Amino acid sequence: MKSIVLLISLLAVIPCAQAQQTDLIANTDGRKTISLDGEWRTIIDPYETGYYDYRYQPSADGYFKDAKPKTKSDLIEYDFDTSESLKVPGDWNTQQERLLFYEGTIWYKKAFDYQRKENTRLFVYFGAANYIADVYLNGEKLGRHEGGFTPFNFEITKLVRDTGNSLIVKVDNKRRRDAVPTLITDWWNYGGLTRQVKLVETPATFVQDYFIQLQKGSRERISGWVKLNGSKLDQKVTVRIPEARISKSFTTDANGSAQITFDAALTLWSPDNPKLYEVVIEAETDQVQDEIGFRTIETRGTEILLNGRPIFLRGVCIHEEAPFRGGRAYSREDALTLLTWAKELGVNFVRLAHYPHNEFMLREADRLGIMVWSEIPVYWTILWENSATLENAQNQLTEMIARDKNRAAIIIWSMANETPVGDARLSFLKKLVEHARSLDPGRLISAAMERHYIDDKTEMIDDPLGEYLDVLGCNEYVGWYDGLPEKADRLEWKTKYQKPLIMSEFGGSALYGNHGDALTRWTEEYQEEIYKHQLAALRKVPFLRGIAPWVLKDFRSPHRQLPGIQDGYNRKGLVSETGVRKKAFFVLQQFYRETAAQNTVGNK
Ligand code: GCB
């Protein structure tokens, strides 16, 4: 009997739940939603008292029960409703000083009422929770999600009540060796419900997802698919692009899927003309709207071609950190500020490092005409031989692509950053490349790799991973970790591949307002000197097709300890953490002005 009770209580708290996680609703913007943002009651639980019992077994009566004493004698040692609160969306670290370094569990509770409607379904959608989220509604476990930067949702149609719903999320941001990312990163481990949370209402059978883009290699043919979810899976589905007078109908199969292809003469999306079309996906039981741009992206030899024409990517790297207030960025305003700073620099391209950024960044990049490199946090050291780590990375890749595959701005999916060459790593990353190509055959695949010297003045890019990529990415810090700024002048760059190269990082640190001569570390002049030498040298690299210097804005990092200079910030920003421009900003801006007209760095 005891063991049955134990089994039931175990089932109540962990594993089965994962199966209930519903496939992602790809475009929540296009449907009826109810925001759950605002104050959530929270319990800081470093010992996970609300999850494990005193034998370290998952407890059947954890905090997720949201229990209240029923009699004056009842013993209940927590109470959400008299606990403190935190704002959602938002990392916890920057909301309370005592949480700045906190890594562990915090429980979140939101109470809500909901008027159930006939023939509708209800989902709870999380933009992101860093890092593991265990989600419960009215005491029942909905499921667990792992990965701090991608969205997930659960269906709650059968569990939701008219009044007094208790939505509880245990968020745990403890770093783990087998996780993605692993124990060390050069950014802050911001924990919590860092992005929007919402209820999404759908008809009984609804348009779950769709992929509507130009077919690879074609500027006139649209190709993709639509997927329904529900009980009436065979339906007529019409894709309309009203402005282009397009209306094409398809029939979904017994699984609710339809392949779609049709010809369309459209104005193509580009940084000069970021044209977006209203696209309507109309099923018999549901309708969703989106704004979609259409463009092609491909490579030919060492060229990158946008809509068939060679381009040079004038970029900058960006972390998802809020301008001015610090902490994780999560709003449209944050996205607009960061991307406007980048635009003022003269970019046509951003590398969103080192994990998928919030959806506003992609939506705004689409509108502003900024091409995007988007990546998953396979960073530095990963447990290459661990199958669960691979599955986790693959899942994060799936979720990134699921959310953003219709954004014209994204031209590159990147698999990894600065990972060490080796067999297990190569086999791991090859699987990610194959996976990305199977989900999205149209975009380019890259990774930020490393280079090495073959003699004292020749830099070589020959990482075996390069063979599987469309575009080579390479991080180098000549002038900062590697010699002094003038060293860049003496180097020649080589690669064994006939592929385009993006210098996906270079730069150096300066504290804004710290001045000295060009050889004094941490001064704006030293950083400026790096940029001058780097840009002059990179002009001479014949296969270079883009640059993304590190980094737009100073960002928090526990790696960066130097008192009076770093104080917990990586200072490689071209602007300070409050957005004040350093001298190097203007050097890069000038370079971009000169090169914009030519669409090349003048190496031919
Ligand atoms: C790198 C990493 C980046 C770091 C940067 C640095 O190579 O990719 O995440 O922040 O160097 O500042 O050292």
177-197 pLDDT tens trace: 999 999 999 999 999 999 999
For atom 10 of ligand 1, the residue with the nearest CA is: 186
CA distance 392 to 178: 9
Is the pLDDT at 6 greater than 50? The verdict is no
Question: What pLDDT is stored for residue 11 in this prediction?
Answer: 37
Dihedral sign, Cα of residue 430, residue 433, residue 435, residue 438? negative
Distance in Å, CA 186 to ligand 1 centroid: 6
Question: What pLDDT is stored for residue 600 in this prediction?
Answer: 58
Q: pLDDT tens, 334-387?
A: 999 999 999 999 999 999 999 999 999 999 999 999 999 999 999 999 999 999
Three-state DSSP at 221 gives: strand
For atom 9 of ligand 1, the residue with the nearest CA is: 186
Write phi, then psi, for 332 (nearest 5 degrees). Answer: -65, -40
Write phi, then psi, for 45 (nearest 5 degrees). Answer: -135, 70
Q: How many CB atoms lie within 10 A of CB 521?
A: 15
CA distance 181 to 416: 10
Residue (of 545, 525, 547, 541) closest to 591 by Cα position: 547
Is the pLDDT at 601 greater than 90? The verdict is no
Helix (H) or strand (E) holding 471: none
> Which residue type sits at 15?
P
Full-model pTM: 0.95
Distance in Å, CA 505 to ligand 1 centroid: 8
Q: Are 154 and 142 in contact (CB under 8 A)?
A: yes
Q: Are 425 and 393 in contact (CB under 8 A)?
A: no
Question: What pLDDT is stored for residue 21 in this prediction?
Answer: 56
CA distance 194 to 228: 29
Pocket (CB within 6 angstroms of ligand 1): 186, 354, 417-418, 475, 505, 550, 570, 572
H helix count then E strand count, the chain: 7, 34
Distance in Å, CA 375 to ligand 1 centroid: 14
For atom 4 of ligand 1, the residue with the nearest CA is: 186
CA distance 296 to 309: 10
Q: pLDDT tens, 38-91?
A: 999 999 999 999 999 999 999 999 999 999 999 999 999 999 999 999 999 999
Q: Could you give the percent of the chain with pLDDT greater than 90?
A: 93
Alpha carbon 491 to its chain centroid, in Å, reads 34
Three-state DSSP at 604 gives: coil
If 0-12 CB within 10 Å is exposed, 13-18 middle and 19+ buried, where does residue 115 land? exposed
Q: Average model confidence (pLDDT) for the chain?
A: 95
Q: Are 350 and 339 in contact (CB under 8 A)?
A: yes
Question: What pLDDT is stored for residue 5 in this prediction?
Answer: 39
Q: How many CB atoms lie within 10 A of CB 462?
A: 17
Distance in Å, CA 181 to ligand 1 centroid: 14
CA distance 389 to 412: 23
Q: Closest ligand 1 atom to the C-alpha of 354? A: 9
Is the pLDDT at 559 greater than 50? The verdict is yes
Question: What pLDDT is stored for residue 29 in this prediction?
Answer: 86
Distance in Å, CA 454 to ligand 1 centroid: 23
Distance in Å, CA 416 to ligand 1 centroid: 13
Distance in Å, CA 352 to ligand 1 centroid: 13
Q: Which residues lie across from 278 on neighbouring strands? A: 291
Q: Which of 186, 450, 559 to mutate to test the pocket of ligand 1 (most atoms within 8 A of CB)?
A: 186
Q: Are 214 and 308 in contact (CB under 8 A)?
A: no
Write phi, then psi, for 300 (nearest 5 degrees). Answer: -140, 110
Q: Closest ligand 1 atom to the C-alpha of 448? A: 8
The alpha-carbon radius of gyration of the chain (Å, integer) is 25
Give the DSSP per-residue string, 115-152: ---TTEEEEEEES--BSEEEEEETTEEEEEEE-SSS-E
Q: Which residues contact 354 (CB under 8 A, 6 or more apart)?
A: 181, 185, 187, 319, 375, 377, 379, 417
| Greatest mean pLDDT among 21-30, 230-239, 593-602 | 230-239
Q: Mean pLDDT over residues 97-125, rounded?
A: 97
Dihedral sign, Cα of residue 155, residue 207, residue 412, residue 530? negative
Q: Closest ligand 1 atom to the C-alpha of 481? A: 13
Q: Closest ligand 1 atom to the C-alpha of 557? A: 10
Three-state DSSP at 21 gives: strand
Q: Closest ligand 1 atom to the C-alpha of 480? A: 13
Q: Could you give the percent of the chain with pLDDT greater than 70?
A: 96
Is the pLDDT at 599 greater than 90? The verdict is no
Write phi, then psi, for 120 (nearest 5 degrees). Answer: -120, 160
Q: Are 122 and 160 in contact (CB under 8 A)?
A: yes
Question: What pLDDT is stored for residue 597 in this prediction?
Answer: 74
Q: Mean pLDDT over residues 537-543, rounded?
A: 96
For atom 3 of ligand 1, the residue with the nearest CA is: 186
Determine which of 3-17, 66-80, 213-227, 520-534 has the lowest per-residue pLDDT on average: 3-17
Dihedral sign, Cα of residue 341, residue 343, residue 345, residue 351? positive
For atom 13 of ligand 1, the residue with the nearest CA is: 186
Is the pLDDT at 589 greater than 80? The verdict is yes
Is the pLDDT at 8 greater than 60? The verdict is no
Is the pLDDT at 1 greater than 80? The verdict is no
Question: What pLDDT is stored for residue 14 in this prediction?
Answer: 37
Is the pLDDT at 22 greater than 90? The verdict is no
Is the pLDDT at 577 greater than 90? The verdict is yes
Write phi, then psi, for 396 (nearest 5 degrees). Answer: -65, -35
Q: Per the structure block, which two tokens stand in for 131?
A: 């890092």
Give the C-alpha distances (Å, rounded to integers) separating 204 from 117, 213, 374, 426.
11, 27, 33, 44
